[in-house]
Structure formats: structure tokens, C-alpha cells
């Protein structure tokens, strides 16, 4: 129980920033929490009975943001193909690492923390520079989106169906390309500096 409380505190420091008191007090019923976490109420109740997720300590059947974060992480691990037990282990390990990192950062002096953040920023800038070097200048997200739209249009018109085996390959390529474009857009948003 003490380890669970420490995990909640560590995650709270990450999740709760400005007006975090609202998040800390937020409680949802199983049905509401399931909807927010994009799982079925049956899944949430099953995971709770298995002890993978614990309801809020302040209510019998209410789930707080910490429990919902765990549910979302488990769902994401399941979507990657892990079994429920393995997904729960991965999430527990990740939350344990997060807790250890929060504790480590919390124990740093302000000067050491500033140095740590500066090193992390430099690593991100290096990563961005590397990405910019590896992406050809002519390859833009807009061109990728047009390629995905063309494949989708060909599929809708049935042109890919007429190609039989190659059509299946093209559909698969279109899906993979679409996901790659989405991931690229997210990555570029994360690393693109906001102009003042």
C-alpha cells in the first residue's frame, strides 16, 4: 500500500502542474473512467478485480487520474500486442521508473536541476538537427499526405481491388504510410521551436 501511495505521489508531481488540485480531486465512476480511458466498463472492472488497477482510496468504486493513467497505459501496451499480464508488468515497471526519476530530480539542488534540464534540451536539439539532416528537403508532410490521399482515393474507386495481390500490398502500404505521417507530424510538433 505504501508503494502504491509513493507511485501516486510521483505520478502526481508529473501530471499536476498549475491548478493540479482539480486533477487530484477528480473522481469518476467506472463507466465514466472507462469511457475516458477508451476501454469498456467490463474491462475496467475485470482489471480492478485482478488487482491491476486500484480505485481511488477515497471512494469504493471511483477512479482518480492516477488509476486512469494506469488504465490508459495498460490499454496502449495491449494495443502493441502484449498480453494483459505483460502489459501490467510493463506499466508497473514504467511507473516505478517514473517514480524513481521524480525522486531523483526532487533531491537535486536547483543548480544541478538546471544543468540536467540544459543537458536534456541539448540532447533534444541534437536529435532535431539529426532529423533535419536525414530528411530530404523535398520530402514534406504535405507531399506525404497527398500520397496517402491518392492511395485512399484509388482504394475507394476500387482500383486497388483490381490489382489483387498488389492491391492488398498497396492498401497495407497506405495504412503504414498514413501512420508514419501521423507519427512524423507528432515528432515535428514536439521538436519544432515555437516562434515568439
Of the candidates 20, 77, 18, 17, the one whose C-alpha atom is nearest the C-alpha of residue 53 is: 77
pLDDT value at residue 115: 87
pLDDT value at residue 95: 87
Q: Is the dihedral of CA 104, 110, 112, 115 positive or negative?
A: positive
CA 122/CA 106 separation, integer angstroms? 21
pLDDT value at residue 23: 64
pLDDT value at residue 140: 63
Q: Roughly what angle, to the nearest 10 degrees, separates helices 110-134 and 165-191?
A: 140
pLDDT value at residue 131: 73
Residues 6+ apart with CB under 8 A from 2: none
Q: Could you tell me the three cell numbers for 132?
A: 533535419
* Domains in the chain: boundaries: 2-106, 110-191
pLDDT value at residue 196: 39
Question: Which residues of the chain fall below pLDDT 50?
Answer: 18, 137-138, 165, 194-196
pLDDT value at residue 139: 56
> From 3.30.70.2740, 1.10.1660.10, 1.10.10.2840, 1.10.287.610, which CATH number describes the 2-106 domain?
1.10.1660.10
Amino acid at each position: 500500500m505504501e508503494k502504491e501511495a509513493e507511485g501516486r505521489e510521483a505520478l502526481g508531481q508529473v501530471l499536476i502542474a498549475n491548478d493540479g488540485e482539480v486533477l487530484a480531486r477528480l473522481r469518476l465512476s467506472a463507466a465514466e473512467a472507462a469511457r475516458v480511458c477508451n476501454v469498456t466498463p467490463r474491462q475496467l472492472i475485470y482489471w480492478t478485480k485482478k488487482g491491476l488497477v486500484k480505485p481511488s482510496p477515497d471512494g469504493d468504486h471511483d477512479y482518480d487520474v492516477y488509476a486512469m493513467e494506469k488504465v490508459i497505459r495498460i490499454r496502449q501496451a495491449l494495443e502493441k500486442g502484449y498480453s494483459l499480464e505483460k502489459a501490467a508488468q510493463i506499466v508497473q515497471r514504467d511507473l516505478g521508473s517514473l517514480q524513481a526519476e521524480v525522486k531523483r530530480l526532487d533531491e537535486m539542488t536547483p543548480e544541478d536541476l538546471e544543468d540536467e534540464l540544459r543537458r536534456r534540451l541539448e540532447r533534444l536539439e541534437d536529435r532535431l538537427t539529426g532529423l533535419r539532416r536525414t530528411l530530404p528537403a523535398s520530402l514534406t508532410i504535405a507531399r506525404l499526405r497527398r500520397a496517402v490521399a491518392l492511395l485512399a482515393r484509388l482504394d475507394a474507386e476500387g482500383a486497388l481491388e483490381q490489382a489483387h495481390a498488389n492491391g492488398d500490398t498497396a492498401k497495407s502500404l497506405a495504412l503504414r504510410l498514413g501512420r508514419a505521417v501521423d507519427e512524423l507530424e507528432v515528432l515535428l510538433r514536439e521538436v519544432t521551436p515555437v516562434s515568439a
